[in-house]
Every structure is written in structure tokens, then in C-alpha cells.
Amino acid sequence: MKLSMSLIAKYLERYRPECHILHDTMSIKGVRFLSASHQQFSLEYIYLGEAQGYYQDPRYGQALLLANGENQMICWGADYEELLNDVLSAFDFYAEFEQKLFLAAARHCPLKEMAEMMGEVLDCALFVFDIDGGYYEYNQPEKAGLYRDWGNYRGR
């Protein structure tokens, strides 16, 4: 399973990370330590290290940095070991979620049930349409600003 910076940031919400995400792709398959002596980085990993080694500003002395390509998250006052464990837990959480979703699809669960499952993880509205544009199901339309108008649509 590969994750994106935004999925990891959502999982790490309790740290209130300062996010600078420019290219949010599902490419991250693991975590590695950030090293100032090693400058060759892979987009397949999120790198964890102390921010003070990469920023000249003394404010970053108490911050940890998570980096992937041009994407960065700064976690102020976080404990190194605790943050590492939480990043690893994010991979476990989303892998378990993916497995739950796969099993629900294999059991031919109703689309509404699967949309509700997705709502537990996604912090946005979810709409499912067929190839011809016919509406099938939705979850949390109020997050798309469509709550008032969405009552006029009916699922199939």
C-alpha cells in the first residue's frame, strides 16, 4: 500500500503539522530517517528528521520535519520516537482500511455502506457516478457545499 502526504497529515492531525504539500501523489511506501549527509532521496519514502538541520531559522530548533520530494510537514514540539511510531501506525491504519474495503467489495456490500466506510477516512464529500454520469451514491455532500441542492438528486 502506498500513501500520500495528505493521508499521512490527516493521520497525524493531533500534532497539528504545518503542511507544505505541493505534489500530493500516492507514492509513499515507507519511512526513512533524514540525513544531512545523504542528499539522494526517493519519492517512495517519507523522511523524518530534525528541522533545524534543514532550516537556518532558530525557531525550528524544537520541530521535526517529514519530507517527501517537494512536500514537507513540520511538527512543532513532537517527540521523535512517538512521531516515528505514529507515521508507522498510519501505514498500518490505511492498510487495514484498504483490507476492510476490499472485503466489503468481495461480500458485495451495498454501495451506501462502502461510501459510509470511506467517509470514516476521507475528510471530504464522496460522490459515485456511473460511466454515463448517472448518480449512484454519496456521503457527506455538505462538505462539498452542495447540502441544500443535493436533496433534489436521487440515487439509483
Residue pLDDT, tens place only, 104-130: 889 998 877 877 787 777 766 666 776
Splitting the chain (156 residues) into consecutive groups of 10 residues, what average pLDDT does each group show? 92 95 93 80 92 83 92 93 97 93 89 77 69 63 49 46
Q: Is 98 within 8 Å of 1 (Cβ atoms)?
A: yes
**Residue 38 φ then ψ, to 5°:** -105, 110
Query: DSSP class of residue 123?
Result: S
| Full-model pTM | 0.76
Burial per residue of 66-90, b for 16 or more beta-carbon CB atoms within 10 angstroms, e otherwise: bbbbebbbbbeebeeeebbebbeeb
Q: How far is residue 14's CA from residue 10's CA, in Å, rounded to a whole number?
A: 9
